[in-house]
Chains A and B, each alone.
Chain A
């Protein structure tokens, strides 16, 4: 369960360009829910996601996930938390272009010094699921956009995360690939993974398997709709 307790995020505190990106947000997501965050550009979607993933800390309030006060945890432990619980899909994929697809996918597991056999098994599974087996050793920068997207998803799933956080996952995809992505999300949803997606792609707004749509405006929640 994810709980945002009255969180505010202010950038450049006490400077002339001070900016309140999030204001007194109070949200609760249940395990296995699929949540869509929508809102105009600059409304604070990415900021909220990064707070939930403990990539940064709120100025006020706290984020609690499964009883862990992750916004109070020191840096090393938030990393550990992400490694064990979170899978990330970024807007621009954020792959390392000069590494091969395979090397990108194992990145989250490198610090755990994984067991060679298990790792291979897991990666083969993922590569098969996303039909990129033959691209395994190709440098990411030589892959097409859709292939890159699938590498990024494989990377997000390698650690069997409980929570998947996706920031504008379809921003760089054409209609066909976007639909493919939605299929993938649907199958993940069936595995009881909590999924948070920030997007302004209307494709997501009337899917029947979405549990909750949160609408943000200027850093404030203006609407939470359940379907």
Chain B
């Protein structure tokens, strides 16, 4: 077990999350099975109250998970100082086989929990509570995802080994690495750039068409393409090194923590787009303001990430 104050903090919170999420899980099962708003039974009455408890618990977990995600990256960064070979969080995360999965689940869960809360807010606006059953069915899945994430996280800290020599991000994110991930490093830069801006254009089109389904998919694709193009192309301009492809190093102080800004804007932009359009599909009268929020943040992200190569070119007169 790799116990530092940071990992202990994360583990304590994991335990709290498990216990509380389990309460919410039991409540959810009951609601999914027995919810009937027309009934005047005391059972229904107590379910209505318990639904509020479950929602409060889920809000609590989500509100903490957001900063905790950054704290996790921060911690992994710090551990990289102790583990031989690791230079940043990437090396630490990858020193364990399922490290990447832990990360994927963390991101998925942020989206799922965030979406759940958006759904909840929507649900509470209507006295028929027509989304209640749906939202608690979704929580049944979200609970499983949370358990998987926490299981990964605990075994992650359990199997971190100070003596094991790991690869640093320089080798992980390159053609040379053995992972299946490495294949995409063969894609030439101009294709990546084309795909990225084409996706952004598609996104803009979907914004003006105001079709929920289209907007949903364009946000999803934009998120994935942004992450890939960030690793493959844009981050080399942040580092001003053609070979450095790490998606973690720019979270560090040397790069003015710009990574947090990038990830947060991208998250808000695509999250509001994705959750907003699902809610609109569920409830046609949903306010359309999420379109603007999404547009603002996704455009901001695109602007920041475009600025890096452009500024580099203006300063140096060449591309990397």
Contact flag (A, B; Cβ within 8 A):
yes
Residues of A within 8 A of B (CB): 13, 57-60, 62, 71-77
In the complex the two chains form, is B38's CB within 8 Å of A57's CB? no
Give chain A residues whose Cβ lies under 8 Å from the Cβ of B38: 72
Partner of B40, one of A58, A75, A76, A77: A58
In the bound complex, how far is the Cα of B126 from the Cα of A77, in angstroms? 9
Contact size class for B? 10 to 19
In the complex the two chains form, is B40's CB within 8 Å of A57's CB? yes
In the bound complex, how far is the Cα of B44 from the Cα of A73, in angstroms? 11
Given contacts A74-B127, A74-B129, contact A62 B40 (CB under 8 A): yes
Q: What is the 8 Å Cβ interface bit string for chain B, positions 19-38, against chain A (1 contact, 0 not)?
A: 00000000000000000011
Q: What is the 8 Å Cβ interface bit string for chain B, positions 39-68, against chain A (1 contact, 0 not)?
A: 010100100110010000000000000000
Q: Shortest Cβ distance from B70 into chain A, in angstroms?
A: 31
Q: What is the 8 Å Cβ interface bit string for chain B, positions 151-191, against chain A (1 contact, 0 not)?
A: 00000000000000000000000000000000000000000
In the bound complex, how far is the Cα of B40 from the Cα of A74, in angstroms? 10
Give chain B residues whose Cβ lies under 8 Å from the Cβ of A77: 127
Closest chain A residue, CB of each to CB of B40 = A57
Number of A-B contacts (CB under 8 A): 22
Q: Shortest Cβ distance from A100 into chain B, in angstroms?
A: 31
Known: A62-B40, A72-B38, A74-B129. 15 other contacts (CB 8 A): A13-B42, A57-B40, A58-B40, A59-B40, A60-B40, A71-B40, A72-B37, A72-B40, A73-B127, A74-B37, A74-B48, A75-B48, A75-B52, A76-B52, A77-B127
Q: What is the 8 Å Cβ interface bit string for chain B, positions 121-143, against chain A (1 contact, 0 not)?
A: 00010010100000000000000
Q: Shortest Cβ distance from A69 into chain B, in angstroms?
A: 9
Residues of B within 8 A of A (CB): 37-38, 40, 42, 45, 48-49, 52, 124, 127, 129
Give chain A residues whose Cβ lies under 8 Å from the Cβ of B129: 74
In the complex the two chains form, is B37's CB within 8 Å of A76's CB? no
In the bound complex, how far is the Cα of B42 from the Cα of A58, in angstroms? 10
Give chain A residues whose Cβ lies under 8 Å from the Cβ of B45: 57
In the bound complex, how far is the Cα of B79 from the Cα of A10, in angstroms? 63
Give chain B residues whose Cβ lies under 8 Å from the Cβ of A60: 40
Most chain A CB within 10 A, of B37, B40, B52, B129, is at: B40
16 A-B pairs within 8 Å (CB atoms) are namely: A57-B45, A58-B40, A59-B40, A60-B40, A62-B40, A71-B40, A72-B37, A72-B38, A72-B40, A74-B48, A74-B127, A74-B129, A75-B48, A75-B52, A76-B124, A77-B127
Q: Shortest Cβ distance from A64 into chain B, in angstroms?
A: 13
In the complex the two chains form, is B49's CB within 8 Å of A75's CB? yes
Give chain A residues whose Cβ lies under 8 Å from the Cβ of B40: 57-60, 62, 71-72
In the bound complex, how far is the Cα of B48 from the Cα of A73, in angstroms? 10
Q: Shortest Cβ distance from A55 into chain B, in angstroms?
A: 13
Most chain A CB within 10 A, of B45, B48, B52, B127, is at: B127
In the bound complex, how far is the Cα of B124 from the Cα of A115, in angstroms? 24
Give chain B residues whose Cβ lies under 8 Å from the Cβ of A74: 37, 48, 127, 129
Closest chain A residue, CB of each to CB of B126 = A77
In the bound complex, how far is the Cα of B118 from the Cα of A193, in angstroms? 38
